[in-house]
Chain A
Amino acid sequence: MIRCKEVAELMASDQLSQQRWVRRVEVRFHLWRCRNCSRFRKQIVQIGETARKVFRESSRVKDHGVGESLEARLLTSLLGETSDVAKRPQFSPSAMSWMTPFGVKGWALSFAAILMLVLGIPSTLWYLGLRADRTKLMAALNLGVQDHLQCAIKGHNYPEIANPPDRLREQLGPQYAGLLPVVEKKLSGFQVLEAHICSVPGSPRKYVHFIARGQGTIVSVILTKQDGESLPAGRFLVARSSGGVDLYKAKFQDTDVAGFETNGYFGFVVSNLGQDQMVQLAASLAPGVRNALGESIRSEKAAAPAVLIGFVSFGSSLRSQKDKREYL
């Protein structure tokens, strides 16, 4: 007859399935009639389930580094290492010293080395430059993709019925309110549901984010200030908008993105509608966005002293800054 101690050991060590069928039947029968062993088994299962729940939930909710922002940081870090590799010197004549014992003449070695320098280095540099540019492009476009996934898709930070334009302008603040009519006009066939300023958890970067619905999906138009980053000039260019803005595209898993840079900002159009449609939308948006941003920058410069006076006299004029949305 099997004893409680043996049953408890079999339960806690996951060894029951390894036992012969007679033993398994014996254990089941024991569990059916022994309240203590049955409770022990239930608790072992419950502790596992609870631990699973606790760690999965805490990873999702409390640990802000998890999810797409962690992935973005890892990607940037790993791609950054690629760029570092590209910066390292790749050729060292001393590395060829192993050839001497095979009787190769010194002049032949020198000639070969010079030939390699002449032919090899430019092509190596070209290849490494290409890779570095590709990395730069993907890292930049990834900014828009991460904000789209975090805020619009995962965070679902938009209403089912579109927010009224006044509210959207208020959420955007005076600096970016001028972009709203541009996005509304140029995203033909899409309804702008939401517009706000947001950030991806774990990063101080701010995004001006328009969320629109149409063609059975969600499209994000995102702007963020360039912080020393840039798109690779000319390389990987896929189109040029009517206003002369260069457009780039990429696909990250199921998410398509087109990007451009204008007036010190990156602009992204992100969705799952295919890269070509993203490029078309970006091409349509880019000139208007450039003009609206230019206007905003000009009026910001012109109004700088007035803002200072307003701040001193009427503290509430900066209230809209508090409307920035964080979806932590």
Chain B
Amino acid sequence: MTTSRFLSGALIDRLRRREPETLTHLIHEHAGTLFRAARGMGFSQDEAEDLAQEVFTTFLETLDRFEGRSQVRTWLFGILHNKIHERRREQLRDERSEPLDELIESRFDTDGHWNRPPADLDRLLQSKEIESAIQDCLGKLPAMQKEVFVLREVEELDMAETCKILDKTVTHISVLLHRARVRLRECLEAKGWRKES
């Protein structure tokens, strides 16, 4: 039995009947990933666990709409994305139209060459403080950028799957990922490590 990628009609029926063995397998395959993603998106342990539970409950409730062609993981992450936005009750800005960050611009001169080259972050990345530094910097990212970063970098989902989950175009995801990475890098550099390079 496998529920890792695609669900057959028979498996969907078993899940609809909430057969314990099938449910156990589904949970085993995806619960940890969903929990970790929710944690990465800034939720506490309890909140992340609640979210994972809500995702599975919604998944079972909406099985009729699930097309077996879709990946289970994509469907589950899509539900997680909606749940997160319901919780945060925030209308996300379209960050494509956001004026280009002055911070990023200030890095380059008018010819597009490095004005302020990237500092060496090796010390920070190898230090014990990196865990809190990364969590702190990730926490400061706008919600959509954070989600894109977690899905692409932490969960290592490919671009197509990320686009499907977040219902965005490749261009949009690329812009969000670019901003997330640059801001994270800037944040880490601003934590004083630049001086030690």
Contact = CB atoms under 8 A, between A and B. Distances in A.
B134 A50 contact: yes
5 contacts: A12-B181, A65-B45, A78-B57, A131-B17, A135-B18
A5 B112 contact: yes
Contacts of B25: 253
A51 B177 CA distance: 14
Interface size class of A (residues with CB under 8 A): 35 or more
A240 interface: no
Interface in A240-267: 250-253
Given A51-B134, A63-B35, A71-B31, 16 more contacts: A39-B117, A40-B118, A47-B134, A48-B153, A48-B181, A54-B131, A55-B154, A59-B36, A65-B35, A70-B52, A71-B24, A71-B27, A74-B52, A138-B20, A251-B21, A252-B21
Contact of A50 (B31, B52, B130, B181): B130
- The 9 A-B pairs of least Cβ separation, nearest first, read A3-B112, A138-B20, A13-B178, A5-B112, A13-B174, A48-B153, A36-B117, A12-B178, A12-B181
B164 interface: no
Contacts of A3: 108, 111-113
Contacts of A175: none
B23 A79 contact: yes
Contacts of B135: 54
Contact of A4 (B35, B114, B156, B188): B114
A160 interface: no
B174 A74 contact: no
A75 B45 contact: no
Interface in B3-53: 17-18, 20-21, 23-25, 27-28, 31-32, 35-36, 39-40, 45, 48-49, 52-53
Nearest to A149: B28
Interface size class of B (residues with CB under 8 A): 35 or more
B18 A71 contact: no
B118 A39 contact: yes
A304 interface: no
A326 to B, nearest CB: 18
A52 interface: yes
B153 A4 contact: no
A308 B39 CA distance: 47
B120 interface: yes
A48 B57 CA distance: 31
A9 B35 contact: no
Contacts of B118: 36, 39-40, 43
Interface in A68-98: 70-71, 73-75, 77-79, 81-82
A238 interface: no
Interface of A: 3-6, 8-9, 12-15, 18, 36-37, 39-40, 43-44, 46-48, 50-52, 54-56, 58-59, 63, 65-67, 70-71, 73-75, 77-79, 81-82, 131, 134-135, 138-139, 142, 250-253
Given A12-B177, A14-B152, A67-B32, A74 B27 contact: yes
B21 A79 contact: no
Contacts of A37: 114
B80 interface: no
Nearest to B108: A5
Contacts of A253: 24-25, 28
B130 A54 contact: yes
Contact of B108 (A4, A56, A59, A70): A4
Contacts of B48: 63
Contacts of A54: 130-131, 134-135
Given A3-B112, A51-B153, A63 B39 contact: yes
A54 B39 CA distance: 11
A66 B20 contact: no
Contacts of B130: 50, 54
Given A39-B118, A65-B35, A79-B18, A51 B154 contact: yes
Contacts of A12: 177-178, 181-182
A39 B122 CA distance: 10
A109 B185 CA distance: 72
Contacts of A251: 21
